[in-house]
């Protein structure tokens, strides 16, 4: 792990990332020693910093150096995590836009789940709802308590939990984006009020021409195929959807297989 370019794990207790979640993060798959979709991750990180008023001059170059240094001792298959915060500051919400930010880069093990990739996964619906906040929608900011609570509600045997907003539209998984085949149309939720615009989500939208719109709970339950995706595990088919005490069985459909074969990640190096 590196903090501000130096090996170590010490962060100032007055850091605004700790006090107020004033920062952003990226989680990046490393395959054969190379960060996958690194440019897209860095662009999203910079957009998030801009939205939160965190200055980014010279940031990308410093992060590249940090990553190169950490990857030198990493295995061929791993996960890189980047955290950028507004840095240490005085007590109170107001901050100095010209203050010194904090950057943290770490490399974590990647654990492949070949069975999930080839057979599909079980997913449950979370009770915790996502609030609506257009000012923060889309970016991967540090304030993830809704997802933390949602993850705690995932049923035993399920790999992921689906989260809905306060108006009962499906938004995303606790750590993934969602696509559904509804009336033969590949569809994904609009994320202009809540949710994270994931890297894999954007690639699927661009390459597959997916429709982006609000998706109701009823539409989700009537989908003929369902998949979740993120930039670590790639694309996983949902073959069992737990809704309360009911279980909806879905196929590992042809559309999902086709998308996974073109865009999904290998499960090992």
Q: Could you read off the pLDDT of 219-234 as tens digits, one per residue?
A: 999 999 999 999 999 9
Pairing of strands 234-243, 246-249: antiparallel
Is the per-residue pLDDT at 269 higher than 90?
no
Residues 95 and 215 occupy one common structural domain: no
Residues 106 and 125 occupy one common structural domain: no
Quick check: is 196 in a domain? yes
Its pTM stands at 0.95
Is the per-residue pLDDT at 268 higher than 80?
no
As a whole number of angstroms, the distance between CA 34 and CA 228 comes to 23
Residues 104 and 22 occupy one common structural domain: yes
Q: Could you read off the pLDDT of 161-205 as tens digits, one per residue?
A: 999 999 999 999 999 999 999 999 999 999 999 999 999 999 999
Single out the residue of 151, 168, 143, 159 nearest to residue 227, CA to CA.
Answer: 159
> Could you tell me which residues are beta bridge partners of residue 122?
240
Residues 192 and 71 occupy one common structural domain: no
The pLDDT value given to residue 117: 87
- As given in the structure block, the two tokens for residue 32 are 């054969």
Residues 148 and 244 occupy one common structural domain: yes
One-character DSSP codes across 158-212: -SEEEEEETTSBEEEESSSEEEEEETTEEEEE--SSSSB--HHHHHHHHHH--EE
Share of the chain above pLDDT 90, in %: 88
Please say whether the dihedral angle defined by the alpha carbons of residues 200, 43, 113 and 178, taken in this order, is positive or negative: negative
Question: CA torsion 251→253→257→260, rounded to 10°?
Answer: -70
């Amino acid at each position: 792990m590196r903090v501000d370019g130096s090996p170590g794990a010490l962060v100032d207790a007055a850091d605004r990332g700790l006090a107020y979640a004033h920062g952003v993060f990226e989680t990046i798959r490393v395959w054969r020693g190379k960060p996958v979709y690194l440019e897209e991750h860095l662009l999203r990180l910079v957009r998030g910093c801009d939205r939160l008023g965190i200055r980014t001059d010279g940031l990308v170059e410093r992060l590249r150096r940090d990553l190169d240094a950490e990857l030198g001792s990493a295995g061929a298959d791993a996960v890189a995590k980047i955290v950028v915060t507004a840095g240490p500051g005085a007590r109170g919400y107001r901050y100095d836009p010209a203050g010194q930010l904090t950057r943290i880069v770490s490399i974590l093990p990647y654990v492949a789940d070949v069975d999930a990739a080839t057979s599909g996964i079980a997913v449950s619906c979370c009770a915790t709802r996502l609030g609506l906040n257009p000012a923060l929608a889309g970016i991967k900011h540090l304030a993830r308590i809704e997802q933390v609570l949602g993850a705690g509600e995932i049923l035993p045997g399920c790999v992921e939990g689906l989260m809905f907003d306060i108006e009962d539209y499906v938004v995303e998984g606790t750590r993934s984006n969602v696509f559904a085949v509804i009336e033969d149309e590949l569809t994904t939720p609009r994320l202009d009020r809540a949710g994270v615009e994931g890297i894999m989500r954007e690639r699927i939208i661009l390459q597959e021409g997916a429709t982006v719109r609000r998706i109701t709970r009823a539409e989700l339950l009537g989908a003929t195929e369902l998949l979740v995706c993120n930039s670590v595990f790639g694309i996983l088919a949902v073959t069992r959807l737990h809704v309360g005490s009911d279980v909806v069985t879905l196929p590992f459909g042809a559309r999902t297989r086709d998308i996974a074969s073109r865009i999904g990640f290998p499960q090992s190096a």
